[in-house]
Structure 1
């Protein structure tokens, strides 16, 4: 099982990649609850440099509600993390990667989460595909 649903965006900049990703998520009913700027955090806390790397905590309230209704502890795996990060192998390219929701079923063994995970996968894949990048 792949850990992520992903695409590579080329001929763009980081801010545009982030904006397009948020718009694509929103079109699929996901809101962004959190943003973690790993580049800034690691620089501030450790003095370490790294590529542009943003973690978006995306949540579709209907899907989250259904998942928590099946298994209250599933909140440990929510929200769905979506990464926007510089491709260190190709200048001017950015990877957009969403957590594969099937991991929720795999990790928990809770079969009742399958329908939620399938719907989340469909919506996240639609958001990734809408970016028009090269699927990874």
Structure 2
């Protein structure tokens, strides 16, 4: 079992626990802790894996791609963070969220639930599936 599978499986179950146990605050908190810890494990080793890959390429081919690989990883993380933040905004607009309202409409609450629990659940399950069934 590879690292992606080890990190994504608990993240998947943490998302599922948050999504299906959203009426019980303790379950949401436990799910968030599981999701955060498992996601953090993958992100903690990401730079080291990238550096080891660059070293392997340098030893095999003589090309030093360390700078290129680190810059590519940084660029990808920045773009994905921006798209993720924009997606949350798009979901709030679709749900008719209005910051000036004291009580939000049900459509806004549903979109907030989707953004916080449903989307990560879908992404985690997709990553788990792709890690278990590589192309």
Q: What TM-score, normalized to structure 2? A: 0.31
Please tell me whether Structure 1 or Structure 2 has the larger radius of gyration of its CA atoms: 2
More strand by share: 1
